[in-house]
C-alpha cells in the first residue's frame, strides 16, 4: 500500500479548448450551438453520439461523463450528456441530442462510457427515449410490467398499475450447460438483507463459491424526488428535499449541491461569513457520514455487531449533537438558504465553540483506536487487501467519484479542483490511495475524517475572530426567483460519497422546467460487478460495503 502523495492538480497542466476549437474538432457533427452556464453546448444528430463523445474523450480529454439528463420538450425529446475532465473539472461541455416526438431513438453512448449504461436505462425508464445499440435496454427503477414513462408529458398519473412478480432465471445456465466441471446457481440477496445497506436486490449467479455474475436490482425506494423538485419553487420549496436523498447524515452536503446550482443560475452571491459556516457544517456532516460508513463496513466484514460499530456510532453521535445545536434538527437539517444560511451560530457562541473543540480534541485518540481495531487488524486486512479491485481507468469509465475513485488512485476532489465555499482559503489535503481495493477505500474515509477535522478547526478559528457587526448570514435574495427561460446549468459539490450534481433548466417560471440529480451512489454502484466477478460471496459483500451506498440517493 503506497502512502506517497500523488500528483496534485496544481502540478497538472491540462490543455484548455475554447468553444470554437471544440466546434472545429467536431466539424460537421455539430448541427447547432447552445450556451449553458459553465459549459458550451453542441447539438448533434441522434446517430452520431458515439463518434462525438469519442472525439471529445480521446482528442480533447473530456474523460468524465458526469451526468445524462433526458427530458421531453414541447416539440422534441432531448438527451444532454454533460462531460468534464478528471484532471480539471472546471472544463465542461454539453452535448445535446434531440430526437423527434414520434420516434425518440438515439444512439447509445455505452460503448464510449460504461457509466452511460445505467444513465440511459434510467432515461428510457422515466422519459421514454430509446438508445440504439445499448447492451441491456430495459427499465431500471420501475418494474418491467410498468405501463408508460412517468416523466413523459402524456403520462397518466391516475392510471392503476399491476406489478407482477417475475420468475428469476439463471442467466448463465445456458453458458455452462455442457461444461461438466462447472455448475452455476442463482442466489437472491435482498432486497431486505443486513448486507445490502437498504432495499437493494442483488441477483447473483454463482459458480461454486465464486461470483460469476451479479446484477444490482434497484428502484425499491424510488420516490420521484426530481419531479417533486420540479413542482417546488426555487426560493423555499426545494431546499427541504436534498436532506432526504442521502438521509444518513450528509444533509448539509446535499443542500449545498442544490444551493450551488440555484445560486449560480440566479446569480446570487453568498456572504463570506456564511460560506465559512457552510464549510464547517458540511465537514461535520462528512465526518458523521464516514463514521457510519466505517462502522457498517466492519459489520459487513465481521458479520456481527462489534465494538467497532458501536464506537463509530458513538463518535457519529457527537458530530450529530453539534449539528443539532447548529441547525435545530438532528437528521433533516434544512439549514441552507439560497444566499446563505437560515440563522447564525447558536448562543452562547463560546459554548458552541468549546463543544466543537472538545469533539475535535478527542477525535485523534478515537481514530487511533479505530486504526488499532480496523486497519491494523490482521483478519480485516486478509479480507480486504486485494479484494474488490477497481483499476483507475475502469473507475473513471464508470464515472465513479468520491472515496471510491480516490481509493483507486485518481486524484479528484471537487472541493479543491472546482472550488466553492471557503475551501480554497484553508489548509487541507486530498486523500488518495492507490491500492484500488476494499482496504484502500476504507483508508481514504478514515484519513478524510482527519482532514475534515482540520478544516473544522480552521473554520472555528475564523468564526471566533469574526467582527460581530459583520456577521452577515444571508445576501439579499428576491422573494420570487424566475431565471430566464431556457437557461441551463449543471453544478456539483463533493458529497460524502462523491460528486453530487444538479442539472436545472429554467423555463421562465418560479419552478424548474427540468430538475435532474446526479447521484454519486448511482454511478458508484454500477462498478459492483466489475469488482465482484470472480470473487467469493463474502468478498462481494465487503465490496458492496466499501462503496458506502445509500439507496435513497441511488433511487432518488
For residue range 73-113, list pLDDT tens digits in order: 889 999 999 999 999 999 999 999 999 988 899 999 999 99
Residues 6+ apart with CB under 8 A from 36: 94, 488, 489, 490
Kindly report the backbone phi and psi dihedral angles of residue 77, in degrees, each rounded to the nearest multiple of 5, phi listed first. -100, 155
Q: What is the pLDDT of residues 350-405, one digit of tens each?
A: 999 999 999 999 999 888 888 888 888 888 889 999 999 999 999 999 999 999 99
Q: Give residue-wise pLDDT tens across range 8-17.
A: 444 457 888 8
Q: Which residues contact 450 (CB under 8 A, 6 or more apart)?
A: 363, 364, 367
| pLDDT value of residue 405 | 94
For 139, what's the count of Cα atoms within 13 Å in the CB-facing half-sphere? Answer: 18
Among 159-168, 266-275, 444-453, 534-543, whose mean pLDDT is lowest? Answer: 159-168
Q: How far apart are CA 185 and CA 167, in angstroms?
A: 15
Specify whether the CB–CB gap between 125 and 149 falls below 8 A: yes
The predicted pLDDT at position 167 comes to 61
Tell me whether strands 92-99 and 39-44 are parallel, antiparallel or unpaired: parallel
pLDDT of residue 518: 93
Q: What is the pLDDT of residue 534?
A: 87
What pLDDT, on the 0 to 100 scale, is given for residue 80? 95
What pLDDT does 176 receive?
53
Whether residue 149 is predicted with pLDDT greater than 50 in this model: the reply is: yes
Q: Average the pLDDT over 61-68 and give the result.
A: 93
Give the whole-angstrom CA distance, residue 27 versus residue 52: 10
Q: Give mean pLDDT, residues 14-41.
A: 88
Find out whether 142 and 219 touch, Cβ atoms under 8 Å: yes
- The rounded percent of the chain whose pLDDT value lies above 70 is 94
Mean pLDDT of the chain: 88
Which residues lie below 8 Å from residue 26, measured CB to CB, with a gap of 6+? 42, 44, 52, 55, 56
pLDDT digits (tens, 9 = 90+) for 211-259: 988 999 898 888 888 888 999 999 889 998 998 888 876 789 999 999 9
Q: Does residue 83 contact residue 42 with C-beta atoms inside 8 Å?
A: no
pTM tops 0.75:
yes
DSSP, res 137: -
**Strand, coil or helix: what is 223?**
coil
Q: What is the pLDDT of residue 181?
A: 60
Which set of grid coordinates corresponds to residue 251? 444533509
DSSP 67-99: EEEEEE-SS-EEEEEEEE-TT-TT-EEEEEEEE
Identify the pLDDT of residue 7: 45
Q: Could you give the CA distance from residue 250 to residue 287 in angstroms, rounded to a whole number?
A: 9
- Kindly state the cell numbers that stand for 465: 475572530
Whether omega before 310 lies within 30 degrees of 0, making that bond cis, reads no
pLDDT at 70: 93
Query: Using alpha carbons only, what angle is made at residue 149 by residues 233 and 132, rounded to the nearest 5 degrees?
Result: 120
Residue 277 pLDDT: 95
Tens digits of per-residue pLDDT, 477-526? 888 889 888 899 999 999 999 999 999 999 989 999 999 999 999 999 99
Using the 8-state DSSP alphabet, how is residue 375 labeled? I
**Greater confidence, 465 or 198?**
465
* 3-state DSSP assignment of residue 538: helix
Q: 235 to each of 11, 142, 240, 260, how far by Cα in Å? A: 40, 31, 11, 13
Residue with cell string 480521446: 58
State how far the Cα of 270 lies from the Cα of 268, in Å rounded to an integer. Answer: 7
pLDDT confidence of residue 224: 85
Are 287 and 313 within 8 A, CB to CB? no
What the block records as the C-alpha cell of 84 is 468534464
Amino acid at each position: 500500500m503506497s502512502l506517497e502523495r500523488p500528483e496534485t492538480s496544481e502540478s497538472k497542466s491540462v490543455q484548455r479548448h475554447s468553444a470554437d476549437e471544440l466546434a472545429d474538432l467536431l466539424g460537421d457533427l455539430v448541427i447547432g450551438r447552445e450556451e449553458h452556464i459553465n459549459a458550451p453546448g453542441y447539438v448533434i444528430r441522434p446517430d452520431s453520439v458515439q463518434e462525438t463523445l469519442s472525439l471529445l474523450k480521446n482528442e480533447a480529454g473530456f474523460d468524465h461523463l458526469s451526468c445524462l439528463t433526458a427530458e421531453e420538450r414541447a416539440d422534441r425529446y432531448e438527451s444532454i450528456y454533460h462531460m468534464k475532465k478528471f484532471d480539471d473539472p472546471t472544463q465542461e461541455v454539453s452535448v445535446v441530442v434531440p430526437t423527434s416526438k414520434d420516434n425518440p431513438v438515439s444512439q447509445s453512448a455505452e460503448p464510449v462510457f460504461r457509466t452511460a449504461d445505467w444513465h440511459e436505462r434510467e432515461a428510457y425508464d422515466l422519459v421514454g427515449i430509446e438508445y440504439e445499440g445499448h447492451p441491456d435496454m430495459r427499465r431500471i427503477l420501475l418494474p418491467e410490467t410498468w405501463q408508460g414513462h412517468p416523466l413523459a408529458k402524456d403520462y397518466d398519473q391516475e392510471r392503476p398499475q399491476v406489478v407482477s412478480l417475475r420468475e428469476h432465471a439463471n442467466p448463465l445456465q445456458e453458458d455452462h450447460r455442457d461444461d461438466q466441471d462447472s455448475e452455476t446457481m442463482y442466489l437472491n440477496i435482498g432486497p431486505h438483507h443486513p448486507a445490502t445497506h437498504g432495499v437493494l436486490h442483488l441477483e447473483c449467479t454463482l459458480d461454486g463459491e465464486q461470483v460469476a455474475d451479479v446484477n444490482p436490482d434497484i428502484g425499491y425506494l424510488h420516490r420521484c424526488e426530481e419531479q417533486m423538485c420540479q413542482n417546488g419553487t426555487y426560493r423555499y420549496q426545494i431546499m427541504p428535499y436534498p436532506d432526504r436523498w442521502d438521509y444518513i447524515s450528509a444533509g448539509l452536503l446535499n443542500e449545498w449541491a442544490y444551493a450551488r446550482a440555484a445560486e449560480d443560475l440566479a446569480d446570487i452571491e453568498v456572504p463570506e461569513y456564511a460560506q465559512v459556516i457552510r464549510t464547517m457544517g458540511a465537514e461535520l456532516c462528512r465526518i458523521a457520514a464516514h463514521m457510519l460508513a466505517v462502522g457498517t463496513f466492519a459489520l459487513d466484514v465481521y458479520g456481527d455487531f462489534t465494538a467497532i460499530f458501536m464506537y463509530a456510532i458513538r463518535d457519529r453521535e457527537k458530530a450529530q449533537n453539534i449539528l443539532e445545536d447548529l441547525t435545530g434538527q438532528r437528521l433533516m437539517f434544512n439549514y441552507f438558504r439560497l444566499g446563505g444560511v437560515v440563522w447564525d451560530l447558536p448562543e452562547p457562541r463560546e459554548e458552541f465553540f468549546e463543544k466543537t473543540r472538545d469533539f475535535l480534541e478527542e477525535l485523534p485518540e478515537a481514530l487511533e483506536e479505530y486504526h488499532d481495531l480496523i486497519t491494523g487488524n490482521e483478519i480485516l486486512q486478509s479480507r480486504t487487501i486485494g479484494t474488490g479491485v477497481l483499476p483507475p481507468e475502469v473507475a473513471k469509465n464508470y464515472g465513479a467519484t468520491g472515496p471510491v475513485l480516490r481509493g483507486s488512485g485518481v486524484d479528484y476532489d471537487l472541493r479543491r479542483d472546482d472550488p466553492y465555499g471557503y475551501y480554497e482559503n484553508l489548509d487541507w489535503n486530498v486523500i488518495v490511495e492507490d491500492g484500488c481495493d476494499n482496504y484502500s477505500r476504507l483508508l481514504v474515509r478514515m484519513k478524510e475524517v482527519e482532514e475534515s477535522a482540520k478544516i473544522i478547526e480552521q473554520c472555528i478559528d475564523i468564526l471566533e475572530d469574526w467582527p460581530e457587526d459583520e456577521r452577515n448570514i444571508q445576501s439579499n435574495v428576491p422573494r420570487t426567483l424566475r431565471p430566464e427561460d431556457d437557461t441551463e446549468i449543471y453544478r456539483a459539490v463533493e458529497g460524502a460519497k462523491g460528486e453530487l450534481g444538479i442539472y436545472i433548466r429554467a423555463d421562465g417560471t418560479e419552478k424548474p422546467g427540468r430538475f435532474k440529480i446526479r447521484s454519486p451512489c448511482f454511478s458508484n454502484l454500477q462498478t459492483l460487478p466489475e469488482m465482484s466477478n470472480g470473487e467469493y460471496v463474502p468478498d462481494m459483500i465487503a465490496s458492496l460495503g466499501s462503496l458506502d451506498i445509500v439507496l435513497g440517493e441511488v433511487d432518488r
